[in-house]
Structure 1
Amino acid sequence: MPVSRNIFLLPLLLMALGFHAQTSPYTAQGIDKLNDKADKFLTDLNFRQSLRYSREALKQAISLKDNFRIAYAYNTIAGNYDELSENDKAIYYYNKGLSYANKTENDTLKNWLNNNLGNMHFFEKKNYEKGIAYYQAAIHHGEKIRDTSEILFTKLNLAWAHFDIGLYDQGQPYLEYVNEHFEKFGRKNLKAARLLLNGMLESERGRNKSADAYFRLAMDMAIATDEKLDLSYSYEEYSKFLAKTGDHKNAYRYLQMFGKIKDEVYDAEKLKRAATEGLNLELDEYKRAVDRIAAENEIQALSLRKSQIIVILFIVCFLALTLLLYMLNKNINFRKKVNAELLQTNAELHLAKEKAEEAARLKTQFVSTISHELRTPLYGVVGITDMIADEHKELVRSPHLNSLRFSAKYLLSLVNDILQINKIEEKRVVLESHVFNVYDEIKTIKDSLKFIANRNRNEIKIDIDPEIPELLIGDKLRLSQIFMNLVSNALKFTVDGRVVIKAELLKNIGEKFFIKFAVKDNGIGIALEDQEKIFEKFVQIERKENDYQGTGLGLSIVKRLIELFDSEIHLSSMPEKGTEFDFTIAFEFNPQKTNEIINNIEVDLSTAASHEVLVVEDNKINQMVTRKILQNNGYRCKVVDDGLSAIELLRKTKFDIVLMDINMPIINGFETTRRIRQFDRETPVVALTAFDKEEITEEALSSGMNDIIIKPFEPIKLFQIINSQIGKRMTE
């Protein structure tokens, strides 16, 4: 392994670390001098003398309890065993050095030790993954101290490591980094190694002329800098290069030159003397271990003497405790009685808790079932109403059709209210981000409530602050739901009057625009004693024979939704004078983000005619509604009644997307999708269901479905998901 890849510290850095005030006869400066000599002898490959001085430096550093110098000495000792190819000993001492280095704040030392351990595990143990991990740790410490020289050194080792196992593509970026920064940050003793690595890369790439030049420069530089091991590696790699190019005569000559240098470096007598010094070093380690054991025995003897004192104290305490036990005995029966009562109470509480949890589970299941069973026919009612309005323009202004549409949407609103209050109570509502125009949203609500307004001969007035930005970002659906409840309430309890919807910009902080909304009427008002309870669930006040009854959930939902916006609702009302609700919500104003959201929701229907859609739906009315929505917007559509028919058709015919109902006879939508995925993993499958999305998401994804649409839905949402899923499949 090339010596240039091992790291030995410079004495100037040691001196900069300061002095330790100790009573020991040793000094930090003396240890630094010993380590300096040990490093010099190791550079000269005089292993015996290097181990001798490192051993003495280690003994003195341990005496001073100087973690930095202990780690330094272990690093030099390990470097000797590294060059002697005693890999296990080298790793042992490198690890000891790292354990002491980690007790210091010196990232330079940690960098060197991690680098050396990376060399050992990569080159010697062939544990490449572990070696790379140590190299990366070395780079991390180098980056912490912003030492480009050390980072360059480690990346040179990483390049060499990858070249050594033939991964030239992975090693090349590291070498490029070395080449780029070497002139400014490279050390003199690494010049030959850098040239050698460039020669190896050029040889691998088949650029023989360039490789030959690099190898010759590497050999010349190793001779000039007296780097014997780098010279030997240069001879070895050049020999391989010559053999590859067919110059076997010179290849053999350089191989002999490589062997000659290795014999000089690892002279048998020199290695024998080094082994003797290494044995002395190991004896020192054993002696220190014995000393630790002796110290531990002394501590145990002292502990024994303390134990005797503790025994005496224990006897005294025992007598005192006996007296206390006598006194406490009188309370035992009383405590037993109390404990028995507590156990009974706990058992009753546990039973009550289980019943409450079961009731909550049944409530959630009931709400889910009811909402699904109601949404399914409502999908048909709302869809058919829209179809009639589209196909028979003469009926658009028909009061009967408008009444039907209003009744259907009110019933849907009722279902959503019940589901919404349940979600809010279980903390399952998350606000979304939409781009919207405040005036447009309020105008839509005004138009949708004209039926109620006309019935009571009311006027709806909109007052929007012109300072409010045209487009804001926030959950417009929740905001619309708040206004829908507040305005419909105002219209129900006002006759021959006026309802004002107002939006006023209070302030803006950065991108947050704080808008105060108010809904004011001149209706019957709310008595003071009723104002606290109107936000409770199922509460109705001022109910008369001909009043629009409602569920009593509206204001409860409004209060909870406004709290989701980190705000609160305020009420001001006087009987026979009118009522005003107001609240403030901060929305985001960000033109760039607004454009991104708009781009994401725009739907391109120009290619719809080329898309084949399979609808799997057992309800005939819903089949007709879904087919009509798709065909009216250019999609080609095929409908089947159940999952088995869908599987059979998909085996023979290719579709661009499948819209899958969940609750079907024979086999449900989940099982149908699982069977489809056994032979077709590409066609997107989207659940088209009346179930709540959160209830089925996990099972839908596990069955192989790609997305979920809840019925009833906005057609634009359906087209957006269809185009998105088809687009994803085409780009994969």
Structure 2
Amino acid sequence: MSGTSLGKYQYKDAIEIAMDLVEESKKRKNNYYHYVGHNILGSSYYDLNDTLRAKKHYEDALIAAEKTSNDTLLLGAYNNLGNIYSEDKNTTQIGIDYYNLVINLAAKLKNEEQILNPTVNIAWTYIDNKQYKRAWPYLEKSWQLYGNRKDPFIESQLSNLTGRYYLGVNNLDSAAVYFEKAVQMVEQDSLILQASYVYENYADFLYRSGKFKDAFLALERYNDYKSQIFRQERMQEIEAANIKFDVAEYQKNLEIARNEQVLKDEIIERSRETMLIMIISSIILIIILLALFKITVSRRKLISELSVKNKELVRAKEEAERLSILKTKFFSTISHELRTPLYGVIGLTSILLEDKSLSKHEEDLKSLKFSADYLLALINDVLQMNKMESNLVKLETVPLNVGDLMRSIVKSFEFTRLQNQNSIQLDIDDNIPNNLKGDPVRLSQVLMNLVGNAMKFTERGNIHIGAHLIEETETGAGILFRVKDDGLGIPESKHEVIFEEFSQLKSANYNYQGTGLGLPIVKKLLLLFDSEIHLESEEGKGSTFSFTINFPKDDKAVAPAISSNDIANQIDAGKDGAIGKTILIVDDNRINQVVTQRILEQQGFTCDISDNGALAVEKVRARHYDLILMDVNMPGISGLEATRQIRKFNALVPVVALTAVEIEEIREEILEAGMNDIIVKPYDTTVFYQVIYRNISSEVVPSPL
């Protein structure tokens, strides 16, 4: 009965029944009921914040439990005293000692259910006292004891404590995981009291992480919950004061009833005690009002400070946006400045490789070209990441042949394959439709990065590249891509880290250390395809990267695939059409002029050179050209302006832009200026010839890739 009254917060009834139980147990010398009576009295006074009386009754309960030799009673007595002593910083260790008594006894009894609460309480106590090294073993043990339970209150409490621990040891990444988990749980299950603790600690974490705006929002949530709790606590405090008054009055009346014959003058004393209680109650109410006032003032001050921080955040945001614009401009400029000399290096190397008299230097020239291509790839990775961060990357939807794309990718890695003595196995499902649509450039970037990674960390091994049809409908097809190697492998602890920007695994193969941008680019590009990367890897046993993309089908008739031999035959056939054709090369860079001229002369074209846009305009006025290769960025008159002037008197001559600038940044300007096509430097020679033939004459135009 007393326990029922306590559970319903009917403290007066609970204390009355418990006192009768204590008196009766003394008469019968029953230690078990003596323990139960004192335990209920201790719990009642503990709820009423009367810790002195609560401690006294809990100690009496412990004495009774020891006399019964009942381990279950001892567990409860030790835990109750641990709660009392751990809340006072002067007696923290005593509280922890009692919790350890619970843990040791429960372990002896093999009762894991009784170990969880004291373990959590010890971790909590140490974290409150900023003793994080001592807290961690108990916190880790708490998670183990919790196991697979589904208790939102305990799990949110553990997540909050774990977040506080990681915040205390300055591990902000781990702290973020647990705080966000705690926030989700308290919001989902409407745990108001726990939510106030979680948002208070979460706001502190966000502030220390430099996320001031998010910290401000978290503090607002904390204030909302605190206001709700405050209203509840205020009512509870007023009711507690009334209950204390009723309990004290009851104890006094009970004492009067028991000593009525010898304490008749107690009526006068009762009046004094009543007055004293009223005075104490009044003081308590005054203290509560003062506390309310102080909290209000503190809240206003905090809001004012947050307002200042919010303004600082706005200024910081504006500055970040300005710096982002500057960064974008910087990358655009640097891409042009880096690609221009690379154009000369790659172009001259390609020309020298075709010179049979230099065959003894063929390996050196291949190494030189590979290094230049690798440097270009690094530059493209950095520029690609910058564009994705600026949300400038959009997918195109054009006809896509998966088989041709993958075969082309494998061929591009031939030099690296030979250098590392690897074997490549290409497996393309014959059932994959040929009438798919997608973005071959972005898909190629994904596969190139994955194959490149496999090449870097595999020596004298096997690399398997596959594409398999997993689902086909009338409107589309789902294809599973897989890149597998038997190289170094990736430790499980690094499976998430490798997808972060600029992160790298240590490798003995120092010839292929990159920027650490390949896998982050893969992850972000796949998000554009509504897909995600999956990794299976074990250190020393290789890695497997896989992803699935759903491609729509092309309703138009499927054109026959063009093989590499077909392309080569078309270019060879184009030589006859090149004889007698004159091309004007407009470029301010002498090396670029030489490279472009030699590449064109190998096909039989006649070339004329112009160093600037103004001279190019005059030359076009003076004679006929079959095609103009126009550099975009030149001093004086730019290629765009020169093209506009030429179009005023010659609307037919094909003008092809030759530029090292990112094509997405300048495509619209090029087309508006009147140019017919675009070649991005440095370029693949085969693609270069295709663009030339496509624009110079319809009679020798090979089919585009």
**Structure 2 length as normaliser, TM-score?**
0.51
8 Å contact from structure 1 (residues 371, 691) kept in 2: yes
Residue 620 of structure 1 pairs with residue 584 of structure 2: no
Letter in 1 for 2:601: Q
Cα distance in 1, alignment partners of residues 412 and 685 from structure 2: 18
Tell me the CA shift for residue 370 of structure 1: 1.6
Pick one of 663, 666, 673 that aligns with 1:693.
663
Residue 659 of structure 1 pairs with residue 623 of structure 2: no
- Residue matched to 1:182: none
- Residue matched to 1:417: 381
Tell me the CA shift for residue 526 of structure 1: 1.0
Letter in 2 for 1:688: L
- Residue matched to 2:430: 466
How much identity, in percent, do the aligned residues show? 47
Residue 428 of structure 1 pairs with residue 392 of structure 2: yes
Pick one of 382, 390, 395 that aligns with 2:346.
382
Deviations 1:596-654 (A, max 9, x none): 9979x988846444543211011122112212232333433211111222122122113
8 Å contact from structure 1 (residues 434, 597) kept in 2: no
8 Å contact from structure 1 (residues 490, 520) kept in 2: yes
Pick one of 475, 493, 497 that aligns with 2:439.
475
Structure-to-structure mapping, 1:162-561, within 5 angstroms? 341=305, 344-392=308-356, 395=359, 398-433=362-397, 437-469=401-433, 472-544=436-508, 546=510, 548-561=512-525
Pick one of 632, 638, 642 that aligns with 2:612.
642
User: Which residues of structure 2 form unaligned runs of 5+?
Assistant: 1-294, 699-705
Aligned pair in 2 of structure 1 residues 591, 396: CA closer, same or farther (>3 Å)?
farther
Tell me the CA shift for residue 374 of structure 1: 1.2
Letter in 2 for 1:635: F
Cα distance in 1, alignment partners of residues 425 and 634 from structure 2: 47
Letter in 2 for 1:567: S
8 Å contact from structure 1 (residues 499, 522) kept in 2: yes
Cα distance in 2, alignment partners of residues 455 and 629 from structure 1: 28
Deviations 1:102-125 (A, max 9, x none): xxxxxxxxxxxxxxxxxxxxxxxx
Tell me the CA shift for residue 469 of structure 1: 4.2
Aligned pair in 2 of structure 1 residues 335, 707: CA closer, same or farther (>3 Å)?
farther
Deviations 1:415-466 (A, max 9, x none): 1111111222223223345556544433433333233333433322222333
Cα distance in 2, alignment partners of residues 479 and 612 from structure 1: 37
Tell me the CA shift for residue 339 of structure 1: 7.7
Cα distance in 2, alignment partners of residues 462 and 725 from structure 1: 35
8 Å contact from structure 1 (residues 516, 583) kept in 2: yes
Cα distance in 2, alignment partners of residues 664 and 697 from structure 1: 17
Aligned residue-pair number: 398
Aligned pair in 2 of structure 1 residues 491, 705: CA closer, same or farther (>3 Å)?
closer
Aligned pair in 2 of structure 1 residues 607, 430: CA closer, same or farther (>3 Å)?
farther
Cα distance in 1, alignment partners of residues 396 and 604 from structure 2: 30
3-state SS of the aligned residue for 2:394? coil
Deviations 1:156-208 (A, max 9, x none): xxxxxxxxxxxxxxxxxxxxxxxxxxxxxxxxxxxxxxxxxxxxxxxxxxxxx
Tell me the CA shift for residue 510 of structure 1: 1.5
Cα distance in 2, alignment partners of residues 400 and 448 from structure 1: 18
8 Å contact from structure 2 (residues 434, 558) kept in 1: no
Letter in 2 for 1:454: L
Deviations 1:137-167 (A, max 9, x none): xxxxxxxxxxxxxxxxxxxxxxxxxxxxxxx
Cα distance in 2, alignment partners of residues 377 and 722 from structure 1: 22
3-state SS of the aligned residue for 2:497? coil
Aligned pair in 2 of structure 1 residues 340, 702: CA closer, same or farther (>3 Å)?
farther
Cα distance in 2, alignment partners of residues 687 and 488 from structure 1: 31
Tell me the CA shift for residue 340 of structure 1: 5.9
Aligned pair in 2 of structure 1 residues 450, 393: CA closer, same or farther (>3 Å)?
farther
Tell me the CA shift for residue 547 of structure 1: 5.1
Letter in 2 for 1:676: I
Structure-to-structure mapping, 1:70-109, within 5 angstroms? none
8 Å contact from structure 2 (residues 353, 362) kept in 1: no
Letter in 2 for 1:370: I
3-state SS of the aligned residue for 2:513? coil
3-state SS of the aligned residue for 2:470? strand
Deviations 1:70-121 (A, max 9, x none): xxxxxxxxxxxxxxxxxxxxxxxxxxxxxxxxxxxxxxxxxxxxxxxxxxxx
Cα distance in 2, alignment partners of residues 527 and 674 from structure 1: 58
Cα distance in 1, alignment partners of residues 690 and 359 from structure 2: 30
Cα distance in 2, alignment partners of residues 406 and 396 from structure 1: 17
Cα distance in 1, alignment partners of residues 633 and 544 from structure 2: 45
8 Å contact from structure 2 (residues 627, 655) kept in 1: yes
8 Å contact from structure 2 (residues 436, 476) kept in 1: no
Aligned pair in 2 of structure 1 residues 725, 398: CA closer, same or farther (>3 Å)?
closer
3-state SS of the aligned residue for 2:384? helix
Cα distance in 1, alignment partners of residues 553 and 672 from structure 2: 38
Letter in 2 for 1:350: V
Cα distance in 2, alignment partners of residues 721 and 497 from structure 1: 38
Deviations 1:689-730 (A, max 9, x none): 1011222234434544444321122345445544555569xx
Aligned pair in 2 of structure 1 residues 491, 663: CA closer, same or farther (>3 Å)?
same
3-state SS of the aligned residue for 2:427? strand
- Residue matched to 1:708: 678
Cα distance in 1, alignment partners of residues 461 and 494 from structure 2: 22
Cα distance in 1, alignment partners of residues 582 and 521 from structure 2: 41
3-state SS of the aligned residue for 1:388? helix
- Residue matched to 1:302: none
8 Å contact from structure 1 (residues 631, 637) kept in 2: yes
**Structure 1 length as normaliser, TM-score?**
0.49
Aligned pair in 2 of structure 1 residues 670, 391: CA closer, same or farther (>3 Å)?
same
3-state SS of the aligned residue for 1:526? coil
Letter in 1 for 2:588: D
8 Å contact from structure 1 (residues 537, 552) kept in 2: yes
Deviations 1:279-317 (A, max 9, x none): xxxxxxxxxxxxxxxxxxxxxxxxxxxxxxxxxxxxxxx
Letter in 1 for 2:313: L
Cα distance in 1, alignment partners of residues 311 and 498 from structure 2: 38
Cα distance in 1, alignment partners of residues 502 and 310 from structure 2: 33
Tell me the CA shift for residue 568 of structure 1: 1.2
3-state SS of the aligned residue for 2:376? helix
Cα distance in 1, alignment partners of residues 536 and 303 from structure 2: 53
8 Å contact from structure 2 (residues 587, 612) kept in 1: yes
User: Which residues of structure 1 form unaligned runs of 5+?
Assistant: 1-330
Letter in 1 for 2:545: F
Residue 594 of structure 1 pairs with residue 558 of structure 2: yes
Aligned pair in 2 of structure 1 residues 533, 338: CA closer, same or farther (>3 Å)?
closer
8 Å contact from structure 2 (residues 399, 554) kept in 1: no
The structure with the largest alpha-carbon Rg is 1
Aligned pair in 2 of structure 1 residues 496, 673: CA closer, same or farther (>3 Å)?
closer
